[in-house]
């Protein structure tokens, strides 16, 4: 049997979707029977039988491939890695939860091959599409996020869609500028392309989840806001550093609040009150950065304790450097007190961010 290179690669990010794999593959086989296609599952270290089910299917079908990621999380980055692992001229992205209408893949591919579009999007918000049986709360959140996304990419009706197909050469226009933050890879691609993409939207109805659990939580909203920030200001300042600095500023407020409480309510001596306030602020900053700033490198289990120790040690050195730089500038009479204070604070922020990125939340 001669090998035919795939015309189409379908990239499917997975996390604990074991019960959906067989059905998804059956649907892809039915829908794409007339094409040379492959599917690449990108699994973020699922704890159920997801990878085992994919691997078993791949043993009998060379069109099925698996990328297993360890120590990395995030739908956008998973999609990017899957797309880069393919050589097909056309790339599609869809979820594993069976909520995307796989029958739309064929008209998407036909539109791409006919050169009617660089990018074809499954849209829930054009005529003929709908969001399915969502709760009022989820529908409201989606509408707000869609409104915000359209402020960034006005040529998309449904910038929050996770179901689309794109020409490889169009993907290559954006790939080096992608933020790879959070869950909205479509918005990232369109906002990052160095020329306007020719976009076609096709309606589809969002289906019901058959098995598994939704990955939506409060952190998804935070990651979406980080993506918007990165697209707006990322060329000037790294969004991780911005988030790290904002959390640091919040930590100052937490420190002062705890210090006031310890002095005025608990009546502790100043040294004890200052120590308690410092500890609470460090714990607060570590927890928030672990949850939001470095979500894709989030520490768990024993690594959490080791990470906190390294974070506290690094920030302590940063605080000492802050005082040293500020004191030097103020003592030299070359700067006013406020300028010396800002310089020391800025130096400390850069140190803390750079060194904790390398050691506490190092990329694996």
Task: Flag whether pLDDT at 354 surpasses 80.
Answer: yes
The C-alpha atoms of residue 308 and residue 32 are separated, in whole angstroms, by 49
- For the chain, give the mean pLDDT: 86
List all residues 6 or more positions away from 315 whose beta carbon is below 8 Å from its beta carbon. 282, 285, 352, 356
Q: What percent of the chain has pLDDT over 90?
A: 45
Say whether pLDDT at 19 is over 80. yes
Sign of CA dihedral 222, 227, 229, 230: positive
Burial of 137 (0-12, 13-18, 19+ CB in 10 A): exposed
Closest by CA position to 41, among listed 63, 60, 71, 59: 63
Residue 66, strand partner residues: 41
How far is the C-alpha of 248 from the C-alpha of 285, rounded, in Å? 6
- Tens digits of residue pLDDT in 107-122: 999 999 999 899 999 9
Q: Which of 204, 289, 215 is nearest to 245 (CA)?
A: 289
What is residue 172's predicted lDDT score, i.e. its pLDDT? 95
Length, in residues, of the chain: 364
Q: Which long-range contacts (CB under 8 A, 24 or more apart) does 140-146 make?
A: 141/221, 145/221, 145/224
Are 182 and 229 contacting, i.e. CB atoms less than 8 angstroms apart? no
> Does 234 score more than 80 pLDDT?
no
Given a cut of 70, whether residue 272 has pLDDT beyond it is yes
Please say if the pLDDT value at position 278 is more than 90: no
User: Higher model confidence: residue 255 or residue 186?
Assistant: 186
Pick from 100-109, 126-135, 238-247, 284-293 the range whose average pLDDT is largest: 100-109
> Closest Cα to residue 101, out of 36, 43, 27?
27
Q: What 3-state class would DSSP assign to 183?
A: coil
Lowest mean pLDDT among 52-61, 94-103, 306-315, 320-329: 320-329
Closest by CA position to 100, among listed 211, 204, 217: 204
Nearest-angstrom CA–CA distance, 82 and 214: 21
Confidence of residue 362 (pLDDT cuts 50, 70, 90): confident
Average confidence (pLDDT) over 6-14:
96
Q: Could you tell me what percent of the chain has a pLDDT over 70?
A: 87
- Cβ 122 vs Cβ 162: under 8 Å: no
CB distance 166 to 184 below 8 Å:
no
Tokens of 61: 């079908």
Q: What is the mean pLDDT of residues 93-101?
A: 94
Residue 250, burial from CB neighbour count under 10 angstroms (0-12, 13-18, 19+) = middle
Give me the pLDDT at residue 8, please. 97
Collapsing DSSP to helix, strand or coil, 308 comes out as helix
Rounded-to-5 percentages of helix, strand, coil across the chain: 55, 10, 35
Structure tokens given for 325: 């730089």
pLDDT number for residue 26: 97
**What's the confidence (pLDDT) of residue 211?**
60
Question: What is the C-alpha to C-alpha distance for residues 126 and 133, in angstroms, rounded to an integer?
Answer: 17
Lowest mean pLDDT among 14-23, 290-299, 328-337: 328-337
Q: What are the two backbone dihedrals, phi and then psi, of residue 37, each rounded to the nearest 5 degrees?
A: -135, 165
208/133 Cα distance (integer angstroms): 7
25-29, 81-85, 117-121, 292-296: the lowest-pLDDT one: 292-296
pLDDT band for position 170 (cuts 50, 70, 90):
very high
pLDDT of residue 84: 97
What pLDDT shows up at residue 1?
44
Express each pLDDT in 204-215 by its tens digit.
988 766 665 555
Strand ranges across the sheet with 164-167: 64-68, 37-43, 8-14, 90-93, 164-167, 119-123, 199-203
The end-to-end CA distance of the chain, in Å, is 40
């Amino acid at each position: 049997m001669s090998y035919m290179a795939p015309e189409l690669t379908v990239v499917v990010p997975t996390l604990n979707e074991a019960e959906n794999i067989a059905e998804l593959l059956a649907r892809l086989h039915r829908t794409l029977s007339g094409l040379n296609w492959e599917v690449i599952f990108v699994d973020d270290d699922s704890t159920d039988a997801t990878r085992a089910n994919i691997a078993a299917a791949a043993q009998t079908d060379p069109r099925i491939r698996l990328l297993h990621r360890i120590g990395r999380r995030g739908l956008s980055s998973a999609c990017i890695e899957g797309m880069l692992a393919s050589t097909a001229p056309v790339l599609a992205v869809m979820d594993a939860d069976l909520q995307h209408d796989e029958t739309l893949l064929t008209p998407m591919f036909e539109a791409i091959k006919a050169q009617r579009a660089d990018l074809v999007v499954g849209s829930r918000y054009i005529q003929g599409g709908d969001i399915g049986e969502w709760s009022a709360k989820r529908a409201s959140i989606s509408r707000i996020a869609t409104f915000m996304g359209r402020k960034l990419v006005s040529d998309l009706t449904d910038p929050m869609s996770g179901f689309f197909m794109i020409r490889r050469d169009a993907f290559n226009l954006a790939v080096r500028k992608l933020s790879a933050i959070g869950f909205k890879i479509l918005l990232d691609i369109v906002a990052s392309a160095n020329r306007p993409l020719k976009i076609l939207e096709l309606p589809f109805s969002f289906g019901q989840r058959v098995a598994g659990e939704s990955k939506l939580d409060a952190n998804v909203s935070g990651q979406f806001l980080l993506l918007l920030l990165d697209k707006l200001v990322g060329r000037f300042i790294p969004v991780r550093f911005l988030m790290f600095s904002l959390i640091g500023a919040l930590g100052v407020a937490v420190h002062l609040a705890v210090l006031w409480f310890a002095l005025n309510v608990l009546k502790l001596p100043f040294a004890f009150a200052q120590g308690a306030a410092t500890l609470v602020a460090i714990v607060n900053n570590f927890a928030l950065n672990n949850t939001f700033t470095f979500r894709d490198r989030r520490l768990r289990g024993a690594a959490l304790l080791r990470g906190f120790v390294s974070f506290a040690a690094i920030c302590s050195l940063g605080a000492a450097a802050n005082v040293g730089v500020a004191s030097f500038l103020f003592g030299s009479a070359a700067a006013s007190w406020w300028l010396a204070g800002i310089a020391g604070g800025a130096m400390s922020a850069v140190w803390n961010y750079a060194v904790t990125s390398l050691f506490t939340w190092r990329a694996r």
